Amino acid sequence: MTKRRIVARSSLAAAVLALSVALFLTGKGHTIYLDTNSVGEGDAKLRAPELSAVYVDGSDEPEEMGRAERAIAMVMGARHVIRVESLDGDEKKASRTIRIPLAWSEVVVSIPAIMAGAGDEAVLYRFTAPPRQDEPAELTIQQADSDVIQLAPDAAEVKPAP
Q: Is the dihedral of CA 53, 54, 56, 57 positive or negative?
A: positive
Distance CA 53, CA 99 (A): 21
In a domain, 9, yes or no: no
CATH number of the domain bearing residue 73 = 2.60.40
In a domain, 108, yes or no: yes
Q: Looking at the predicted structure, is the pLDDT value of residue 133 above 90? A: no
Residue 153 lies in a domain: no
Is residue 59 in a domain? yes
The answer to the question of residue 48 being in a domain is: yes
3 state SS for 9-57: HHHHHHHHHHHHHHHHHHHCEEEEEEECCCEEECCEEECCCCEEEEEEC
| 77 within domain boundaries | yes
Instruction: Quote the mean pLDDT of the chain.
Output: 84
Domain count of the fold of the chain: 1
Q: Mind listing the pLDDT tens digit for each residue in 13-54?
A: 999 999 998 888 778 889 999 999 888 877 778 888 889 999
Expressed as residue numbers, the domain containing 44 is: 29-126
